Amino acid sequence: MNRDPSPSDTTGTSPIAEIPPVSSPPPDSPPVLVAQNDNNTVTDVVVKDSNGANTVIPASPTMSANYGPGIVVIDRLAYSYVQRLNGRNFAMSQRFRAPISGTMASVQIYLPVGSSSAGYASGTGGQIRIGVYPDDNSSAHRPNMSENPIAFATFRPSMASGTFSGAARMFPIIPVNSSDSLKAGSLYHVVYEQTDPDPSTNFANINSTATNMGSGRPARWLSPTDWGVLYGERASALQAYSWGDATAQPYGGLYYVPILQVRTTSGESFGSTVMESGNDRNREWAVGSGNPIRERYTASQNRTISGLSIMTSSTAGGSLKWEIKRGDSVLANGTINDSGSGSFATVKSLSYDQGVYSWYDVTLPTSIQFQQGATYDVVFTPQGGSEWHFAAQSNGGQWGFTNPAAFTESQAQAYTNGQWLNANIWNKNATTYDRTNWRVVLH
């Protein structure tokens, strides 16, 4: 497994040019073990209402209590080996707890591309065997590959020198043959194995969403068991894989979760496809009172909103005003306070200086109603001379991923030169760019 920075494009026109990774831990290294803390433990979120009473925002395996693009956040991309390297065969598992029952029709993933020296892919991309297996029900929750897969496919990327002629082919929708159905509430693993006759020369690795371990896991409200990435290795096809879990424990300083959309034969779908990060000192937003930001929602159904969470950090303390608005009408408002000297800090991750952000949780004074089809703005405005930092992210909607895997019910916007513009994570001063979000969640 290696680490892969988010694609960087200073022109704002093509989010696919990637920078080669620096060296990482050997692929057979064990995960780095760290002490668990509040950021890294999935728990209910307890916040205080305006009267000082505790209100619980529940951790929810189905995520039904949470509504917004910040359910999964990203600091950078990271890819898993699906190849033969240094005499070992490597496989990847994307583990999920099925939120619905149904027969799988396809999986859609994100393939990194580039020269073989970059390590993303090589040659033709090889031949990838895909199997959807039940969980082994152990405490480690590995794929049970002694069982027959409930769905399977053979995928040939058909690359040339480890790349594609068109960017859209990096996000293939892969049909699967199903012999059994998903059962809601059960754990499954989509396992990817390279079966090319020359798997050291022809291979394609697979991207994941990742966060720096000091920032906590990408999916704060979701158990690592229910949405995770595992890496497997073995010396030969005669052996069973030895599996490690890059979501339960950080690997190479990063937590991984899948970039995956599952579609069923009935037309339903699920997953998460957060795939590009604006968390870089050249791309994050330092926001003052004159340039607020907002997340613009268009609700797909009626919803009751009782709280909000925002991931941000202040430079020198102060207050951040929040408002939920419909047009010019303010439906709810309040302030978030940092009474200290500021919490914003950076860490070095590959060649980037990346921000370390904190979650702020708020209970609304009174619950409000979102109506289907109506537009609402969640606005954040620093007060006085305070400065607050925000990182946007891409949800994958521009590459064929669909809601709810790509959260396209809202759009990140920034107030720039007297007008609201869609936030462009590649270049803040470039033309508008959609399918981006701030790290915000409503409850």
Q: Are 360 and 439 in contact (CB under 8 A)?
A: no
User: Do residue 249 and residue 294 come from a single domain?
Assistant: no
Instruction: Determine the 3-state secondary structure of 127 from DSSP.
Output: coil
Q: Are 213 and 87 in contact (CB under 8 A)?
A: no
114 within a domain of the structure (yes/no): yes
pLDDT value, residue 164? 84
- In angstroms, the CA 69 to CA 308 distance is 12
pLDDT value, residue 119? 83
- In angstroms, the CA 317 to CA 340 distance is 5
65 within a domain of the structure (yes/no): no
Residue type, 81: Y
Q: Mention every residue, 6+ apart, whose C-beta is less than 8 A from residue 252.
A: 1, 2, 3, 24, 25, 29, 32, 78
Which residues partner with 229 through β-bridges? 94
- In angstroms, the CA 209 to CA 395 distance is 11
pLDDT value, residue 291? 94
CATH of the domain at 322: 2.60.120
User: Do residue 252 and residue 307 come from a single domain?
Assistant: no
User: Do residue 319 and residue 255 come from a single domain?
Assistant: no
56 within a domain of the structure (yes/no): no
User: Do residue 319 and residue 296 come from a single domain?
Assistant: yes
Residue type, 394: S
Q: How many domains does the chain have?
A: 2
User: Do residue 202 and residue 329 come from a single domain?
Assistant: no
Average pLDDT for consecutive 10-residue bins of the chain (443 residues)? 38 24 26 25 38 44 74 94 95 97 97 76 94 97 97 94 83 96 96 96 95 91 95 92 95 95 97 93 90 96 96 91 98 90 73 85 95 98 94 94 95 92 84 85 96
Pairing between β-strand 375-382 and β-strand 318-326 as defined by DSSP bridges:
antiparallel
User: Do residue 271 and residue 299 come from a single domain?
Assistant: no
User: Do residue 212 and residue 116 come from a single domain?
Assistant: yes
Choosing from 224, 250, 277, the residue where a domain stops is 277
User: Do residue 292 and residue 251 come from a single domain?
Assistant: no
User: Do residue 185 and residue 308 come from a single domain?
Assistant: no
pLDDT value, residue 23? 24
pLDDT value, residue 417? 87
Please, is 308 exposed, middle or buried when counting C-beta atoms within 10 Å of its C-beta (0-12, 13-18, 19+)? buried
- Domain extent for 100: 2-39+71-277
pLDDT value, residue 115? 60
